[in-house]
């Protein structure tokens, strides 16, 4: 079976790890949001790609981003020198950023770089950036637009969201298109629809290919609340039909065939769905959820 999961970092990465526990390397492809990618102090950072790679490599910190047993001595030194220090640059994490930056400067594609990094980390499942071209996500606020990381990390996702913009016109890579063409099942991970999956679906070539498939979506809301992040508030701010699972269902419309939701949200879905425990508290929970989706 060939499974493709569209994902951001965080909860989506956990579900990818759940699938990885039961699928062979060539059976699972994660197509990962790169709208959060940015260059910081000259260093190319791909937060969601790294979260997925780190969780599959078993080195993701339990906090949900960056590497376990991380230190921040470079960051402390940057802070002492008066440089920007709002982004948590870990010392071990920096190794990945430096290798990625140097490879991009050589002209390598992000897809190839990610493959090499994954190989170095012993990750056998496929991790693909949604595009090799920069496609930054901008968050429009009442005070103007902010690059995603500035809004999310530096401003702690506080400024009200007026609109989300997906910049860039780069298409999907040949690897992404081939993975979607070969897929038996496409899964939308429990990631933010505007900030994580929206950027992927906006890449030319991806949405229409997904629409040909049986698509299963795992809700990023539980009992109407986001497990983490500002989603519940954003559904309201961005004018969703309702700030709950029904709003998500309306947001994706026909694209999703089957919803996987928490039992407390089942009544609101109104379309084909499975109600189960979707809180990915640990490896057992994510493995069980992935297995349940594979049985659908």
Q: Which residues bind a second copy (CB under 8 A)?
A: 41-43, 67, 70-71, 73-78, 80-83, 91-96, 98-99, 101-102, 105, 117, 120-121
User: Shortest gap between Cβ of 132 and a second copy (angstroms)?
Assistant: 19
User: Shortest gap between Cβ of 59 and a second copy (angstroms)?
Assistant: 10
CA distance 10 to 20: 16
Other C-beta atoms closer than 10 Å to the C-beta of 110 total 23
User: Shortest gap between Cβ of 72 and a second copy (angstroms)?
Assistant: 9
Measured from the CB atom, is 43 or 283 closer to a second copy?
43
User: Shortest gap between Cβ of 119 and a second copy (angstroms)?
Assistant: 9
CA distance 260 to 219: 6
Q: Which residue has the tokens 């983490």?
A: 228
Closest CA relative to residue 115, chosen from 175, 200, 188, 40? 175
Measured from the CB atom, is 101 or 242 closer to a second copy?
101
Measured from the CB atom, is 113 or 235 closer to a second copy?
113
- Give the torsion through C-alpha atoms of 203, 291, 264, 190, to 10 deg: -20
Q: Is 254 helix (H, G, I), strand (E, B) or coil?
A: helix
User: Shortest gap between Cβ of 274 and a second copy (angstroms)?
Assistant: 39
Measured from the CB atom, is 89 or 139 closer to a second copy?
89
User: Shortest gap between Cβ of 41 and a second copy (angstroms)?
Assistant: 5
Using the CB atoms, write b or e for 157-171: b if 16+ within 10 Å. Answer: bebebeebebebeeb
Measured from the CB atom, is 1 or 98 closer to a second copy?
98
Measured from the CB atom, is 127 or 180 closer to a second copy?
127
Using the CB atoms, write b or e for 4-42: b if 16+ within 10 Å. Answer: bbbbbbbbbbbbbbbbbbebeeebbbbbbbbbbbbeeee
User: Shortest gap between Cβ of 66 and a second copy (angstroms)?
Assistant: 12
Would you say 256 and 216 are in contact if contact means Cβ atoms under 8 Å apart? yes
Q: Which residue has the tokens 């190989």?
A: 119
Q: Is 289 helix (H, G, I), strand (E, B) or coil?
A: helix
Measured from the CB atom, is 22 or 116 closer to a second copy?
116
């Amino acid at each position: 079976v060939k499974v493709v999961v569209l994902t951001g970092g965080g909860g989506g990465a956990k579900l990818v790890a759940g699938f990885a526990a039961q699928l062979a390397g060539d059976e699972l492809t994660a197509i990962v949001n790169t709208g959060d990618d940015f260059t910081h102090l000259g260093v190319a950072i791909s937060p969601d790609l790294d979260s997925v790679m780190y969780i599959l490599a078993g080195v993701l910190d339990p906090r949900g981003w960056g590497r376990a047993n991380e230190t921040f001595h470079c960051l402390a030194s940057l802070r002492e020198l008066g440089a920007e220090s709002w982004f948590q640059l870990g010392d071990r994490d920096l190794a990945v950023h430096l290798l990625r930056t140097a490879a991009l400067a050589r002209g390598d594609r992000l897809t190839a770089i990610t493959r090499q990094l994954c190989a170095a980390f012993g990750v056998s499942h496929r991790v693909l950036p949604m595009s090799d071209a920069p496609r930054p996500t901008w968050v429009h606020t009442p005070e103007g637009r902010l690059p995603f990381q500035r809004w999310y990390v530096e401003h702690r996702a506080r400024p009200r969201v007026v609109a989300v913009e997906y910049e860039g016109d780069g298409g999907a890579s040949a690897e992404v298109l081939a993975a979607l063409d070969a897929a038996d099942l496409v899964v939308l991970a429990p990631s933010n629809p505007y900030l994580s999956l929206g950027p992927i679906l906006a890449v030319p070539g991806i949405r229409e290919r997904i629409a040909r498939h049986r698509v299963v979506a795992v809700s990023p809301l539980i009992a109407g609340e986001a497990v983490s992040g500002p989603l519940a508030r954003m559904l309201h701010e961005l004018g969703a039909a309702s700030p709950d699972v029904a709003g998500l269902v309306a947001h994706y419309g026909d694209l999703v065939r089957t919803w996987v939701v928490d039992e407390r949200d089942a009544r609101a879905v109104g379309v084909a769905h499975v109600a189960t425990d979707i809180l990915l508290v640990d490896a057992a929970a994510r493995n069980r959820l992935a297995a349940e989706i594979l049985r659908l």
